Chain A
Amino acid sequence: MLYSADRILTTHAGSLPRADDLKAIVAGKAAGGEYDEADLQARLAAAVKDVVRRQAEAGIDSVNDGEISKINFTTYVRERIAGFELWDPEARVNFSLDMTARDREKFSGYFEANPMPFKRNVTKTPVCVDELRYVGHDAVRGDIEIFKAALDGVDVAEAYLPAVTPGTIEHWMPNEHYADDEAFVYAIAEAMREEYEAIVEAGFLLQIDDPDLPDGWNCLPGMSVSDYRKYAMVRVEALNHALRNIPPEKIRLHVCWGSFHGPHHDDIPLRDIADIIFSVRAMSFSIEASNPCHEHEWRVFEDVELPDGATLIPGVVGHCTDFIEHPDLVAERLVRYADLVGRERVLAGTDCGLGHRVGHESICWAKLESLVEGAARASRRLWR
């Protein structure tokens, strides 16, 4: 992990734009269609090389592979853990998690007029029907090799690879095998442990993508805050169990509130779960901070302390609008955090992955450009 020792360093939360033809092949593979593995690998290698180079040129200090090989979280997990089976939608029982559930109660008219693209649109759902077992060794090795090759000769301060949490996997893949939810989530944790460890052993920072920690609240509209905190703590304990062999400074945690385009009117306040977020075995924490539902939460850090030595990566540009955040606004946001937690403990980040969530790839890169320029402006104010 990095500290902003002499200037505010920059990173982002994950996905970056990928070419339409590659997207089609990756999606086709995810849907179980025919594809040419050698051709796909060659295309992935070229695309990752390109996306790493572009991040470096844009001035991003901590870069990733743009999640180019991952069409979405669920499909990627299905390829890496055995024990799931694809079921027809009508065969699913007791499973209707929807991250827009709380918003839907108040904004039914909006959701009728604007069906969520995030709402499950696949014809079959992976269901856990057997003991879970990690089988993603080759797949993660492939990601690592492609990323390593792409980093060769590129001057960046840090490289990270993302992996998803047990709790998020639990959201999208129902359990028909384990006795209860806790046993299921620990089984996922034990399987994903191998992936987490492989990423760190390869020399990369591990980014744990944990949207479910905040957005489980949206999925479970019946819960009170105290019920939800208990629910979330079980998932974090399972995650920490999976991370037990990895030094915390090799781990950063990314949380977000589901990142769908909608009102987000009833997102759980950061204040209500901050202590749970900071109990994850990580030393770097990436949070949403640039959208109108969470921008005000910088003030949480007036009285909530970061764990000792930890860094904070507030989103200073985001996916919720195609407007490009003004660099002066980016700087203003960073300075607010730096004044509260110390300049060396703040990195500039994004609310969530921008790749497929903004109107065009040019918007994504313009936002990252603004992020870098804003970090430079903040640095000039903070190190003068």
Chain B
Amino acid sequence: MRYSTDRILTTHVGSLPRPKQLIDLMIAADNGENVDPAHYDATLKQAVMEIVAKQSALGVDVVDDGELSKRGFAVYAHERLAGLEPTGEPRPSPWSNSRESNDFPEFYATSRQPFSGAPTASNMQMACTGPITYKGQELLDRDLANLTRAVAAAGAEEAFVPAISPSDVVGNQLNEFYSDEEEFLYAVADALNVEYRAIVDAGFLLQIDDPRLINYYVKNPDLSIAECRKWAEQQVEAINHSLKGIPEENIRYHTCYGINMGPRIHDMEMKDYMDIVLKINARAYSFEHGNPRHEHEWQLWEDLKLPDGKILIPGVITHASLLVEHPELICQRLMRFADIVGRENVMAGGDCGFGTQAKAEPEVHPTIVWAKFDAMAKGAKLATDKLW
């Protein structure tokens, strides 16, 4: 993994806007319609070529495939893990009975009802009914081949592949097979290790995506911070178990608060979780920083020591606002980190993905996403000019 040795490098969290042709095919597949696999694969392959070229053109140093093939976190896990079966019921809203919806019931009632009607593949509640094993080799090989080809064509120096954490998979399923959640968690961890190793073996950085670690607090109103910390420590042990055999230098870790565009006054604060996150065997840590709920948390690093050789990837652009971050603001944000943890240990990143779900209505319009990326490159350049 490269450090920002002679300039501030840029990357992002993972998902990027998909072209309309691909979204149309994904929505059709999600609704159970027949989609010609060859046509789908060709469309995906072309889209990955274009999305990698786009990132390179916009000055992104560490690129990915935009997670174009993963039309949602949950369905991606279902496609790749054996031992899960559909229950026939939709998953509940991720924020129902959370601290947030309890405090802002009218806001969440009117604005945030993601799942209604009959469940599709993407929002189906799944249950674990048998031993969890990895079955996603073919899909994984396709993704890695697409990215390898696109990275070579674009001449990108470094690329990462996001993969879901075992903790996040477990949080999305009902467990009807394993004797307890710990046993379930470690079974998922062992299965995902296959995917993680393959990503690194293909020459990519592995990014563990783990929003559940810090969302557990907001989603469990009865638990205290201390109880959530204890739970998080256990998850981190399982995550490290899932990473066995993979050198730390090939791993980065991302956590965030999910695509919750609400008030977020109950987000677990960085001071309450970051020491635990630093125990994850990763070299770089990516987290939300580019939004008004978390922007002040850079100050934490005045008291918390970043272990030697580790890298921070604060979000300097966000999905939380349509407004395009000014490059000067991005520069200011990066400088605050660089001044504390050292310029070589800071990369510019995003708060979260910009196209987590393949939906007709994008979370942020692509024209705005690309303007944000352009601003990020310019902001990193401004910071570089000041820091070197």
Contacts and interface: CB of A to CB of B under 8 A. Distances in A.
Contacts of A110: 322, 365, 367-368
Interface residues of B, number: 35
Given A292-B329, A363-B263, A366-B263, A321 B292 contact: yes
Contact of B325 (A106, A293, A299): A293
A332 B262 CA distance: 22
Helix, strand, loop or mixed for chain A's interface?
loop
B223 interface: no
Contact of B329 (A295, A323, A359, A362): A295
B107 interface: yes
Interface string A193-230: 00000000000000000000000000000000000000
Contact of A264 (B106, B299, B324): B324
Given A106-B371, A107-B371, A292-B318, A360 B110 contact: yes
Contacts of A294: 326
A291 B365 contact: no
Contacts of A331: 296
A292 B325 contact: yes
Given A107-B371, A290-B292, A326-B294, A320 B323 contact: yes
Given A321-B321, A325-B293, 5 more contacts: A109-B366, A293-B323, A296-B329, A297-B328, A329-B295
A293 B372 CA distance: 11
Given A263-B323, A264-B324, A293-B323, A323 B296 contact: no
6 contacts: A263-B323, A293-B325, A323-B261, A329-B292, A363-B263, A366-B265
Helix, strand, loop or mixed for chain B's interface?
loop
Contacts of B110: 359-360
The 7 A-B residue pairs whose C-beta atoms are closest, nearest first, are: A296-B329, A325-B292, A296-B328, A329-B296, A292-B325, A360-B107, A110-B365
Interface residues of A, number: 40
Nearest to A113: B365
Interface in B297-347: 299, 318, 320-326, 328-329, 331-332
Most chain B CB neighbours (cut-off 10 Å) among A293, A322, A363: A322
Contacts of A323: 261-264, 291-293, 320
B355 interface: no
A114 B365 contact: yes
Nearest to B292: A325
Interface in A331-384: 331-332, 359-360, 362-363, 366, 370
A137 interface: no
Nearest to A110: B365
B368 A263 contact: yes
Interface string B92-117: 00000000000010110011000000
B366 A322 contact: no
A328 interface: yes
Interface of B: 104, 106-107, 110-111, 261-265, 290-296, 299, 318, 320-326, 328-329, 331-332, 365-368, 371
Contacts of B295: 326, 329
A233 interface: no
A113 B360 CA distance: 11
A290 B293 CA distance: 12
B107 A362 contact: yes
A320 B296 contact: no
A246 interface: no
A141 interface: no
A265 B371 contact: yes
Nearest to B106: A360
A120 interface: no
Contacts of A370: 265
B365 A363 contact: no
Given A323-B263, A328-B296, A360-B111, A296 B365 contact: no
A244 interface: no
A291 B296 contact: no
A82 interface: no
A324 B110 CA distance: 18
Interface of A: 106-110, 113-114, 261-265, 290-297, 299, 317-318, 320-326, 328-329, 331-332, 359-360, 362-363, 366, 370
Contacts of A360: 104, 106-107, 110-111
A43 to B, nearest CB: 21
A264 B371 CA distance: 11
Contact of B292 (A107, A109, A324): A324
Nearest to B295: A329
A320 B322 CA distance: 8
A292 B323 contact: yes
A321 B262 CA distance: 9
A296 B294 CA distance: 16
Contacts of A107: 365, 367-368, 371
Contacts of B318: 292
Contact of B321 (A292, A317, A324): A292
Nearest to A363: B263
A24 to B, nearest CB: 17
A383 B295 CA distance: 24
A322 B261 contact: yes
A321 B295 CA distance: 14
Nearest to B265: A324
Given A362-B104, A362-B107, A332 B296 contact: yes
A63 to B, nearest CB: 23
B118 to A, nearest CB: 27
Contacts of B365: 107, 109-110, 113-114
Contacts of B321: 291-292, 320-321
Nearest to B325: A292
B368 A324 contact: no
A81 to B, nearest CB: 33
Nearest to B261: A322
Contacts of B263: 322-324, 362-363, 366
Nearest to B105: A362
Contacts of B261: 321-323
B292 to A, nearest CB: 4
Given A110-B368, A366-B263, A366-B265, A261 B293 contact: no
Contacts of A292: 290, 318, 321, 323-326, 329
A265 B368 CA distance: 9
A261 B264 contact: no
Contacts of A359: 107, 110-111, 262
B94 to A, nearest CB: 16
B269 to A, nearest CB: 8
Contacts of A264: 323-324
A114 B362 CA distance: 11
A221 B107 CA distance: 37
